Amino acid sequence: MKLADRARRIAPSATMAVDAKAKEMQGAGINVVSFGAGEPDFPTPPHVKEAASRAISANFTKYTPVGGIPELREAIAQRLKEDDRLDYRPEQIVVGNGAKDICFSICQVLLQAGDEAIIPAPYWVSYAEQVALADARPVIVPTREESGFKISAAQLDAAITGQTRLVILNSPCNPTGAVYTAAELRALGEVLERHPEVMLLTDEIYKKIAYGDDGRAPSAAAVLAHLAEQVILVDGASKAYSMTGWRIGFAAGPAPLMAAMRNLQSHSTSGAASISQKAAVAAFAGDQGEVERMRREFQRRRDTIVAALNAMPGFRCSVPGGAFYAFPNVQGALGRTYRGSRVDTSLDLATYLLEEAHVAVTHGEAFGAPGYLRLSYATSLEHIDEGMRRMANALAARHVGASA
């Protein structure tokens, strides 16, 4: 069968592939400890589930207005105001099927052939694919571990050309856990201010999972409120409220862009599920205590996994400031043979760990960062201990040289 060029250009999501392989092995009866999935292991909070049950009982099971039900857009606007003193009118908010769908729509309505979108690496796997699917060119700007995996204002300035239409920023970052300070965001904003034709997509889906003093990461949309015409805020219910399967994400930004996204949605998905939207109202408008409880638990897990990773031979892991990923530099563990398996790249290492230790991790290549691994610590301390024990064992069996 002849597929469209577009379809042949898409690389499958590596993180989902790792997770699928781990689940397949589990299905075959193998006890796999998975650090692959980017989703909280906690149940969705009870008051959210009850709101969904009520929606079903009340037959709230029909098509909803494109862009999301007014009640949900109102609840989101209110949450943004309370959390970050952001001022969005409900018509400046579009609800979609998860932040992934929202990012995809933004690329579709904003980008076209000849355009460039700047993406700092390491980056979340879908950005580059979504930019390419909109026929534009992803311009990957590498960042360094020494600068906390953050793009500087000078780097951003140098990357902007006459073709640049979009910059994608993700803080806290998947996969590095990097969190931009307000001062760093302001410096990036100064560059953007000189380029009013360039839009900023700020993906703040991990904003409430951060480990600084106030437990939250600064919102670029809030810090750059004076650039509101250039800023598109993306967030959702998946991570902070442990609602990955409900598929609720949203964008907040300039009204004409939101109108274009609603048009697109009217011909693509017709919007998020009615029941999920009612559940999300409860998440955004209801008690936020569960969010804080989960954040504290993530912090305990982060401290445990980072300490264990730093004790692995050849690993070096900086302490992530947010999200729920550890991103160790594993270059010191490469170029060796372990139990007969030659391991030269972080992809080789991830494959070895899955096959030999039954531990699933994602290779850095998937995020534009060879030489690193990503481990999601959105899993219990018990699993983390067991996974680290298995990894330490597998890595202890190493030999230097090609023919050991």
Ligand X SMILES: Cc1ncc(COP(=O)(O)O)c(C=O)c1O
Closest CA to 48 of 291, 355, 227: 291
Q: Does 379 bind ligand X (CB under 6 A)?
A: no
Tell me how far, at minimum, the Cβ of 310 lies from ligand X, in Å. Answer: 24
Beta partners for residue 169, in sequence order? 202
- Contact present, 293 and 241 (Cβ < 8 Å): no
Among 45, 148, 249, 364, binds ligand X (CB under 6 A): 249
Give kind and range of the element (H or E) at residue 233.
Answer: strand 231-236
> Pick from 69, 95, 100, 271: which binds ligand X (CB under 6 A)?
100
Report if residue 170 touches ligand X, rule: CB under 6 A.
yes
Nearer to ligand X, 34 or 170 (CB): 170
One-letter amino acid at 298 equals F
Nearer to ligand X, 99 or 317 (CB): 99
Binding track, positions 119-138, relative to ligand X; x by CB under 6 A: -----x--------------
Supply the minimum distance, in Å, between the C-beta of residue 320 and ligand X. Answer: 13
The 16-45 contact track toward ligand X, x by CB under 6 A, reads ----------------------x-------
For residue 97, the minimal CB distance to ligand X (Å) is: 7
- What is the residue-wise DSSP string for 30-98? ---EE----S--SPPPHHHHHHHHHHHHTT--S---TT--HHHHHHHHHHHHHHH-----GGGEEEESH
Contact between 48 and ligand X by CB under 6 A: the answer reads: no
- Find all residues with CB under 8 Å of 75, minimum gap 6, and list them: 280, 281, 284, 285
Residues 132-136: contacts with CB under 8 Å, at least 24 apart = 132/9, 132/10, 133/6, 133/9, 133/10, 133/104, 133/107, 133/108, 134/107, 134/108, 134/110, 135/111, 136/107, 136/111, 136/112, 136/165, 136/166
Please say which residue, 171 or 337, places its beta carbon nearer to ligand X: 171
Size of the site for ligand X (CB under 6 A): 13
Stretch of 59-67, 95-103, 282-290, 354-362 contacting ligand X, by CB under 6 A: 95-103
CB of 98 to ligand X, least distance (A): 3
Neighbour count for residue 196 (Cβ, 10 Å): 10
Indicate the residue among 192 and 205 with the shorter CB distance to ligand X: 205
The answer to the question of residue 174 lying near ligand X (CB under 6 A) is: yes
Binders of ligand X among residues 227 to 246 (CB under 6 A) are: 236, 238, 244
Amino acid at 389: R
| Contact status: 203 vs ligand X (CB under 6 A) | yes
**Residues in touch with ligand X (CB under 6 A):** 38, 98-100, 124, 170, 174, 203, 205, 236, 238, 244, 249
